[in-house]
Amino acid sequence: MTETNIEQPPYFHQWSYTVETDETSIVLPDGCTDIIVISNDESEISGLHSTSWDISPRRVRLRAGTSLTGFRLRPGATIDLRDLGTEAHSAANLAAQISSVVRHDQEITQIIDDIGLPGRSVAELAKQQGVSERTLQRHFKGLSLPSLGFWRQLGRARRAVQALPCRVPLTEIALEYGYSDQAHMTREFVRWFGKTPVQLRRDHATLKDLAQPGLGNWSSQAVL
């Protein structure tokens, strides 16, 4: 998969992938939705799809010869496919169209960035916004976004998983990222990524996927 950082606007990353042989891929939760162009040639779109927020690993079957071009929206950003029209578009023009219709709230984006940090709480963030926790939760619901609990738990897990390659003891990683103990972190990793921290440390391909831009590391400019 090739990842391209889009400097303007900073609300999506573009990626592309060509399926060489029939395969089943595992999509891990990243706190993002993707607009995906499915095609069998380089210019015309044969399908345009939008993903939702994953809450657990998801299997995707891909047929050989399929070309995918994706636009991964920043955590908290949304889009309505109807705003892109129904006529066929070139993938090259689609980036400009997405840029013009993507929906985002800067304050919400900042809350989503902060909520997964160690020591941050929903109560603290609500107080900073001058509203109650219930009001803040309703605001997220009104924007058709997952709950604050989703962003907090996934954001913490995705930040913690980035520390695995450094070989720091797992107990230390768990405490640094706000888990009560290593067992707590292990349960959360299995929930979100389908594997324990020990298994992930040995799985370099999955760690590489988790290093791609998403919740907790959106500014990354990695290339696969």
How many other CB atoms sit within 10 Å of the CB of residue 11?
Answer: 20
Higher-pLDDT residue of 57 and 5 is 57
pLDDT of residue 8: 41
Q: How far apart are CA 202 and CA 187, in angstroms?
A: 18
Identify the pLDDT of residue 3: 47
37: confidence class by pLDDT, cuts 50, 70, 90:
confident
Q: What is the C-alpha radius of gyration for the chain, rounded to an integer number of angstroms?
A: 18
Q: What pLDDT does residue 7 have?
A: 41
Helix (H, G, I), strand (E, B) or coil at 15: strand
Mean pLDDT of the chain: 88
User: If you average pLDDT over residues 135-148, what whole number do you get?
Assistant: 94
Which residue did the predictor score with more confidence, 90 or 37? 37
User: What pLDDT digit, counting tens, does each position of 207-218 carry?
Assistant: 999 999 999 999
Higher-scoring residue by pLDDT: 190, 86? 190
Contact present, 80 and 98 (Cβ < 8 Å): no
Residue 204 pLDDT exceeds 60: yes
pLDDT tens-digit map of 95-129: 888 888 999 888 999 999 999 999 899 999 999 99
pLDDT number for residue 5 = 44
Which pLDDT score, from 0 to 100, does residue 223 have?
33
User: Are the beta carbons of 34 and 69 closer than 8 angstroms?
Assistant: no
Number of H helices, E strands in the chain: 9, 7
* pLDDT of 6: 41
